[in-house]
A = this chain, B = another copy of it.
Amino acid sequence: MSKASDFGVWEGEVTIDLPEQTDAGVYFLGRIRTPWTERKQCPKNARESDAVCTVEVDPRFAPGLKDVESCSHLVLLYWMDRAPRNIVLQVPGHYGVQRGTFALRSPARPNPIAMSVVRLLRIEGNRLSVIGLDCLDGTPLIDLKPYFASTDSVPDAVVGWHRKT
């Protein structure tokens, strides 16, 4: 563990040496089209925006979309390919307090996989129109799943550090 000094790493942030090799590989299944081309344009979280975004699934994988249209909400996993992966303690700009990476939803994490719950508006061929994303235009899609309220919805969940800020 060492004090961070790389470009893009802030005072108070701490990095680690990553393993020399990764352990498994992911396929990019398509791309997410959003109105945001720079990070500063992105909403801070997905509930801040009603923008309709488009998920373009590569034709190879599109047969797997059968029955997805019956889902009101989906879980999307996507690859935050511009984020550093070696930061374990970070200082989010809008909070100004050092937090552990795994206590944050920051894109900077060892595996830069974001998870968003989106509302599905419609599917046309291999293109899904959804509401509830906050990522950059062109972000690679790595999975989509049905959202089951029975297992995925916990209305009374608490993030203690956030409640205090």
Contact = CB atoms under 8 A, between A and B. Distances in A.
A71 B23 contact: no
A64 B100 contact: yes
Contact of A25 (B24, B100, B158): B24
B117 A152 contact: yes
Contacts of A94: none
A26 B19 CA distance: 10
A103 interface: yes
A22 B26 contact: yes
Interface of A: 1, 14, 16-19, 21-29, 45-47, 57, 60-61, 63-73, 75, 77, 79, 81, 85, 88-89, 98-105, 109-111, 113, 115-117, 119, 132, 140, 142-162
Given A16-B61, A72-B159, A113-B142, 8 more contacts: A22-B27, A23-B26, A45-B148, A63-B89, A70-B160, A73-B158, A115-B145, A149-B154
Contact of A18 (B21, B27, B101, B109): B27
